[in-house]
A and B are shown apart, each in its own frame.
Chain A
Amino acid sequence: MTLDLWHITKRVAFYALVIFIVVVSIFPFYYAILTSFKSGTDLFRVTYWPTSFSLDNYMSVLTTGSFPRNLLNSVFVAAVTVLAALFLAITASFALSRVRFRGRGLLLMTILAVSMFPQIAVLAGLFEVIRFLGIYNTPWALIFSYTIFTLPFTVWVLTTFMRDLPIEIEEAAIVDGATPWIIIWRVFLPLLWPALVTTGLLAFIAAWNEFLFALTFTSSNATRTVPVAIALLSGGSQYEIPWGNIMAASVIVTVPLVVLVLIFQRKIISGLTAGGVKG
């Protein structure tokens, strides 16, 4: 009897913990959505459940100001950054994972070290390079600077993936006279698609969310990316923070990410752990 009771208490406690974890994880995003659909004075009345529904905030964010332009900037910057990083990383990872040469281990460690770089440490130097190249306040400044974190990450994860590809496939290709270049693009690439999707997605999220470089290397509303736009979104006066608009913009920026992450859940988890644990 007491044993049963103990058993039931344990189960209840466990499920209480589970519910607590889920609620804490989801609630802030739920509350942002809830707020984004409120307008006028409703905004300043705390409610736990949806009470009113209005698209005012969305209309105002998408039709006034430069937010649509910022969205396009973000998409462009993140997409080009990812493509550039993947292109450079595929050949480099082939060399790092399938060819033995002196200093390979040291090189891998250096690449990992670069991804751990505090971004602030290169900020002053990058600012000079970007001004020298004449790309200050353009999307190219961001694409250029984001390479510092997307490239080491993609190289590292793709190297781990490529190391696990069977040697027999490569041997067969070598026997047929394929050069390393052909092996990469014709033999390995079709096998690497899942890995490319995972790394590409993680790099995309990182570039999409980046703030420090975007804040420093762009200076006008038209060239900003969404994180900076949201951070600097302000109302008519200093004390009038447009919470409704901020929440609507936040939801617009976040929903695609959440959907992508939920669709590619398993792949993302495997990519994260390949980048972390196996390192």
Chain B
Amino acid sequence: MTVEATAGQAVRTQPKIESELLKSRVGAAMWFLLPMLAALAVVAGWPLLRTIYFSLTNASLTNLYEADFVGFKNYLNWTTLKSGRTVFSGLLVDPAWWNAVGNTLRFAVISVTLETVLGMVVALVLNAEFKGRGIVRAAILIPWAIPTIVSAKMWSWMLNDQFGIINDLFMKLGLISHKTAWTASADTAMTAVLIVDIWKTTPFMALLILAGLQMIPKDIYEAAEIDGVHPVKVFFKVTLPLVRPALMVAVIFRLLDAMRIFDLIYVLTPNSAATKTMSVISRENLFDFDKFAYGSAQSTFLFLMIAVMTGLYIWLGKVRFDGGDR
């Protein structure tokens, strides 16, 4: 706004010099952008295109360049046997892949939901005024600062079936009757992953929500208090609607992030079918099983899912904002 106004004024007084100046500024801007755009094209754009291309070939780790184009065979392929029966193969009929898709979606939805709720609780606590608030804020930054791999190792030690402190504590509290192999058993592996992820990411959520909470003018709360509105009602009728834009941004960021989870699962519950996500299974095919093309197809599929989700969000977001719901 200010830029436009001042530029406009200047144009009226000194039209020629200003327009030349503007032109040279735009020219300089293009040169400033070029290195960054070139870098992003080389590390993101080109590799993405190559991955998509590989997914349409029969490339393998040792044979990247002489691979043949096979169309969509990695996604879906069928052969008709002599008996007349048709056998399908490929990504779209691979139960291991759909298991990974299910795991990813389950993980993303549950972790983001719980992180949002718990993040809101922590943010509300931090938004209240009390002694020791600084300590709490510093404390919740610690899980965020710890590298994911380190937190995965710390928790896998704490969740260890024989020597883990969690089993010891839960036995003492009478919550469980016998020691549980949290990360190894198929029933609890996903719970273990969720616990660690929620522990690590709730602080991030809380800080983003807190920033939104602090933008709400204090006098609204004072007015509500004078009118004797119940705090729970204040939360649902005042706080939540006002913090919603910030909350939505935080949720979508976390959701996209959760969809691509790799490191925590790779370290905490290796080789467990109960937690294997889309990223884990694609990397396995790409580099461990030497099914480079098939792995590329899987990562392309994940990319498309995330692209569609982002597109939907932008589209829905626009509709809502245009509807004057702000």
Could you list which residues of chain A lie within 8 angstroms of chain B, going by C-beta atoms?
A: 14-15, 17-18, 21-22, 24-26, 28-29, 31-32, 35, 43-44, 46, 48, 88-89, 91-92, 94-96, 98-101, 107, 111, 113-114, 116-129, 131, 144-145, 147-148, 151-152, 155, 167, 171, 174, 179-181, 184, 205, 208-209, 211-212, 215-216, 226-228, 230-231, 243, 246-247, 250, 253-254, 257-258, 260-262, 265, 268-269, 272-273, 276-277, 279
- Known contacts A122-B48, A257-B147; can you find 9 more A-B pairs with CB under 8 A? A21-B122, A26-B139, A116-B253, A119-B279, A125-B50, A151-B43, A230-B150, A268-B141, A269-B207
Nearest chain B CB to A149 CB, angstrom units: 9
Residues of chain B contacted by A21 (CB below 8 angstroms): 122, 125, 136, 139-140
The proximity string for B residues 27-59 relative to A, scoring 1 for CB distances below 8 Å and 0 otherwise, is 011101101110110111011111100100000
- Supposing A212-B263, A227-B147 touch, asked if A92 and B135 sit within 8 A by C-beta, the answer is no
Interchain residue pairs with CB less than 8 A apart (20): A15-B130, A28-B151, A29-B146, A46-B165, A101-B26, A117-B44, A118-B259, A118-B260, A118-B306, A122-B47, A124-B51, A125-B46, A125-B49, A148-B43, A151-B39, A212-B279, A231-B152, A254-B147, A261-B144, A272-B208
Give Cα A275–Cα B164 distance, bound, in whole angstroms. Answer: 38
Give chain A residues whose Cβ lies under 8 Å from the Cβ of B211.
269, 273, 276-277
A6–chain B nearest beta-carbon distance, Å:
13
A250 to B139, CA, bound (A): 18
Instruction: Label chain A's interface by main secondary structure.
Output: helix
A11 to chain B, nearest CB (A): 9
Instruction: Map CB proximity to A onto B121-133 as digits: 1 under 8 Å, 0 otherwise.
Output: 1100100101010
Known contacts A95-B29, A124-B47, A272-B208; A18/B136 CB under 8 A: yes
Contacting residues, chain B, for A212 (C-beta < 8 A): 262-263, 279, 283
A96 to B26, CA, bound (A): 10
Q: Give the 9 A-B residue pairs with the shortest CB-CB distance, closest first.
A: A125-B47, A125-B50, A95-B29, A118-B260, A121-B303, A91-B32, A92-B36, A273-B211, A211-B263
The contact size tier of chain B is: 35 or more
